[in-house]
Structure 1
């Protein structure tokens, strides 16, 4: 039998692995029971046609990534106030829409996206591992030199690769809207600093309407991680409330990625 110290270490290690896999979307974790439903709907949607990530080349397509037996967030496509949108509905749910890239691309990019949130989750706190939910997250994953990982992160990456066939991303940057922390706040994930959240919208201003954002990916990565980014390896959208147990919903508008210096265009609401 393991002594109490080693037993606690094992339990914490399993918890770290579960959290990292959940947040970065390890490919071999259980998928939706019928993944073709939401994935095909996304592929055939006005939202996908209004989005522009063509510079990413050929991708495997969007995947609805569930995490074990956890209740998933329900994603669908449609329109909100004249704008093509992905609708996320979470009833204490946790799952991600992720777009892995066939080949990584240079991260000198402008990212344009929009979101609409009817209500923020005032029970959540990004710094508290027990309640670190977010109504909206736009996620970017990056490659890099894993030799600089701390021992714990190196161990996690090796275990993830052993289980899934792909390593943990070198770094994951999440754009979030938060009610608690001001714009510009960088919040490391409570379990691993290889995942960092950047607050790009804060407070109640903008609740209930579309909010358009445009970001310099390389500059944001530098601000969050203190170094230049490696190549971009994937995108993701996420709405989760499993830790707080709340019911939340959100809409994500089309996503546009362009090299720095080129204009970005996103779908705008139609006016009569």
Structure 2
């Protein structure tokens, strides 16, 4: 559970990369949340919101001189869900936490994409946009990175004054890339992407269910550099952007359930009707 010190400050790798002509692109966060214990929820559910704003400690982050992606809790039938609307914009909704990464660590949610960012292309910087991304940030030891990566990360942290996360794994629902694809972000090696869903759902009005084993996905994405190291999960972010392509995207997310060995009881989450999606 986040404390008053777990403030999310809107800085970003992408902005720093543009300044330094270096391949760096991701949200820079100040993450000072204590570990989630058995009696605590790892993430606050969106369904706990009293109005349209996501409940604390969810925090919005963006980049300088960017139109903000809109995040709003709305009613969908009997359930409250997060509406994510990108319109030539960039933004993240971030929740600081600290959960150990081990074989029991899982992430579950349900989502729906109504409008894809038409010209998005995850393989290029010019097309690095998406209507629906769910990102997991890891506290990977910087001294395990190559000299070049350590230098860029240190520069990012020094420039922003923030503890920029060393690794990010993003789950993506993309219009073009094949489901099951694993990609390196076009701006930085520090972010990897797993495409879980591709194209329009068979029933666009129904939410798709996901449940991921984070350790298995982490090893798949970062196994080339991680070895036997198991970094803590330090934040979860819902992200959507359409600033590079000047497009528009619309998606919805249910409550997000993060569980691990130190989190035996998660928040009570309310999930809308769903069809089965990809599994662990």
Normalised by the shorter chain, which TM-score bucket?
Answer: 0.7 to 0.9
Tell me the CA shift for residue 195 of structure 1: 0.4
What is the distance in 1 between the residues matched to 2:264 and 2:177? 31
Contiguous gaps of at least 5 residues in structure 1: 1-9, 29-41, 50-59
Q: 1:266 to 1:183 in 2, by over 3 A?
A: farther
For residue 93 of structure 2, the aligned residue among 93, 97, 101 is 97
User: What's the counterpart of residue 191 of structure 1?
Assistant: 187
Give RMSD over aligned pairs.
3.0
What is the distance in 1 between the residues matched to 2:45 and 2:141? 37
State the number of aligned residues. Answer: 234
User: What's the counterpart of residue 29 of structure 2?
Assistant: 26
User: What's the counterpart of residue 251 of structure 1?
Assistant: 252
Max radius of gyration: which structure?
1
Tell whether the 8 Å contact from 1:153 to 1:192 is kept in structure 2 after alignment: no
Determine whether 1:65 maps to 2:68: no
Contiguous gaps of at least 5 residues in structure 2: 1-15, 32-42, 51-55, 275-280
* Bigger helix fraction: 1
Q: 1:229 to 1:84 in 2, by over 3 A?
A: farther
Tell whether the 8 Å contact from 2:122 to 2:129 is kept in structure 1 after alignment: yes
Determine whether 1:135 maps to 2:131: yes
Tell whether the 8 Å contact from 1:111 to 1:214 is kept in structure 2 after alignment: yes
User: What's the counterpart of residue 211 of structure 2?
Assistant: 214
- 1:67-216 matches, cutoff 5 A: 67-101=63-97, 104-108=98-102, 109-206=105-202, 207-216=204-213
Q: 1:75 to 1:26 in 2, by over 3 A?
A: same
What is the distance in 1 between the residues matched to 2:215 and 2:195? 16
1:59-90 residue CA offsets vs partner (Å, 9 max, x unmatched): x7111102111111011112223321111111
Tell whether the 8 Å contact from 2:28 to 2:163 is kept in structure 1 after alignment: no
1:35-65 residue CA offsets vs partner (Å, 9 max, x unmatched): xxxxxxx97952559xxxxxxxxxx711110
What is the distance in 1 between the residues matched to 2:19 and 2:150? 12
Matched residue of 1:191: which SS?
coil
TM-score (norm 1): 0.76
Matched residue of 1:117: which SS?
strand
Tell me the CA shift for residue 218 of structure 1: 0.6
